[in-house]
Structure 1
Amino acid sequence: MLEEWIFEFLKGTGKLLLNPVFYYLFFVAAFLGVSRVKRERKDFSVRVENAYFELRQFLPLGLLAGLVVSIVMVGAGFVIPIETIVFTASLTFLWSFTAKVRWMSPVYTLGFAFFATMFAIEQNWLLPSFAQSAVDLDSSIFPSIAVLLALLVIAEGFLIIKNGRKGTSPKLVKSKRGQTIGIHESKRIWMVPVFLLIPGQVLQLPFEWWPVIPIGGETYSLILAPFSIGFYQRIQGTLPKEATALLGQRIAVFGVLLLLIASAGYWYPLAAIGAVALAIIGREFISLRQRLAEDQAPFYFSKRNQGITVLGVVPDSPADKMSLQVGEVVTKVNGVKIQDEKGFYEALQKNGAHCKLEVLDVNGQVRFVQRALYEGDHHELGLLFVQDEKKWDSEAV
């Protein structure tokens, strides 16, 4: 029996490499990175993170989240029909064409796939021979799909808390009054591969070599399916780390609520339908609430009468090595009070070999940082501020 399970896990993992979604999500992550770098260069003439940053964040934590979801799904014996996986993959491609990366999250891909599966069964669609599993299964498949969706929503909250706050991108926009202000964006996509139990007989015709595992008198197979989690957040009224952590916590708690409702679907079938509908509506409500709160909040990254607020810090720059943080206010440079970026640059030139900054941190405490400057260091220490005019820099991606 153990050998059968090991063999099945290996075969299921191999199927991941045949899934076009697996490769497409890498493309989306790369596209987000290149687009971000182009926009940052347009605003600041320098990029913050390089174009591979989104790719580096794409998979590591997603593997951990997928492992936990897989253990729950397989350990509890939840069976997912193959056509739901097919619908989810199709919707992942479809929603990506809207250019709204957050629509590539489970509530919009798996959630709508849930209703597409129901509709296909009700209408007796002539599905391909390898996608007829739901027709032969009882109504327990719908609570299983709802449970999977709830677990993926919890995973989404976890990823936002742990990873969404990293590398948020500074951006310059115009306020309603025409003033230049700074905001932060977090636009990310993660892949969460999940092992799922599917009816074994569904793969016997096109894939006769596929091994099946007897469970409770029935036969099942394992498949490793990639799920996308898209995330977008615009932040203008608070620190990026605080805003993303709060949103992630709300989504994770919402996922726990969905899990409780979805589990009740095994005794009350309508609860599964209600859980999926609530997932779609509730996730939209959470996003809308966050956007409205940001729109009504005062601008955190705007010009000040005293000092200039740090909008971004270039990695491995002198500013980064001095532990300067986004949201801090630089009030003095080399003993000179500053009010704008021009004054910052002029004060910095007073001593080309050394700089000393007086900084007001995010808690309102004054601190001093200093560092020797070396040939090849960024001429403005690697700090990004709210600015009206573009500066040009030839730094490579």
Structure 2
Amino acid sequence: MLELLPPPPTDPLWDLTAEFAADERPERLDLVLGVYRDHTGRTPVMTAVREAEIRLAERAESKEYRGLSGNTAFNRAMQTMVLGPEAPAGRAVTVQTVAGSGALRLLADLIRRTRPGATVWISDPAYVNHRPILEAAGLEVRTYGWRDAEGGFDAEGVLRELSAARRDDVVLLQGCCHNPTGADPTLDAWEALAERAVRDGWVPFVDLAYHGLGDGLEADLLPTRILAARVPEMLIAVSCSKNFGLYSDRTGCAMVLGASARALGHAETALQNAARTLYSMPPEHGAAVVTTILEDDVLRAAWRAELEVMRGRITANRTDLTTHLGALGHEAQARTLAQQKGMFSMLRLTADQMLELRLRYAVYGTTSGRINIAGIPGHRIPRLAQAVAAVLDTAHAPAPRRPRALDTGRTRQSPAVSPLP
């Protein structure tokens, strides 16, 4: 059987991560994976999370099955956080999932079950896992452009391209801190998207993975609430990986907003049935941690304060990198970076230039130009800016040849990092 299996494609992000791990240059800089790192380069356990885990360990409650919807207290707390305490009762149902990716897949299965002929529209560029998840559920996927010529959000272009979305199609939108571009709509643009959804009849599908790391928690959730207040139906996938630092605990939820209790009941059962066939029940630990934090005033305040510190560090990194690039004469790059938000930024570099950045200067980002702003140690920003500037200044020179060992995976001696001016 296995001998008949053709070579499957590998994951490009994890390929780059493996390449970084094999790189022996001490100057190497990992800006690939979307994780928050502090000034020392560590991804710390948040103080509120640690305290919640201590409380849970002291209580030593049962590890009995929770059920197909997971931790119901977690679901209530997350629904209140996302939609706001003043959201109408009975408007939504929530099911705990295996992180945000699990929520995306459950909701994709729901779309396939309820609207088998629907097209799901995703931004171009999009989060690298959006298309694979949707297509694995058997859905047709089309794209709409996201950025303008300067790398910012293209409000007119998005509305123009979404005019082709049919009634009962689904449009996937990232609620804040767009991955990979960092370019977000203004509130006026979100209002326009909500009006277009109501007028044309397509269903918003919001992916929330970075709320709290852009303009602040409430501000980052406002676009989702704008949509929820206006459209009759809506899907929301929520991740707790970034803003609670629960990456490996795989904590998230799927929300469905509908117009009737009957429809919502059917949707909840459909999500439970999909979960049963994919993984049965989600892991409890992360959900219990989040519930403990959100239900305790002191812990919730401590979590929000620490989240604000993380947001401030990300913002400061972006501002510092912008300043250095501008000082090095690359104002266009600086302007693009300055208008972006969240963990990621998009450098206006080609795939060949990103390869040069990696091979010559040991700076690892994706071939699309995405870098993890949250992963840069502050003291290394000047050198990163110099490396980007050097690549831009030699834009017409051929990229350095990839060492053979990078293609084969064999152990190698890494090339020396090129000197910077």
Greater RCO, 1 or 2 (C-alpha within 8 Å, sep 6+): 2
Alignment TM class, shorter chain as reference: under 0.3
TM-score by length of 2: 0.24
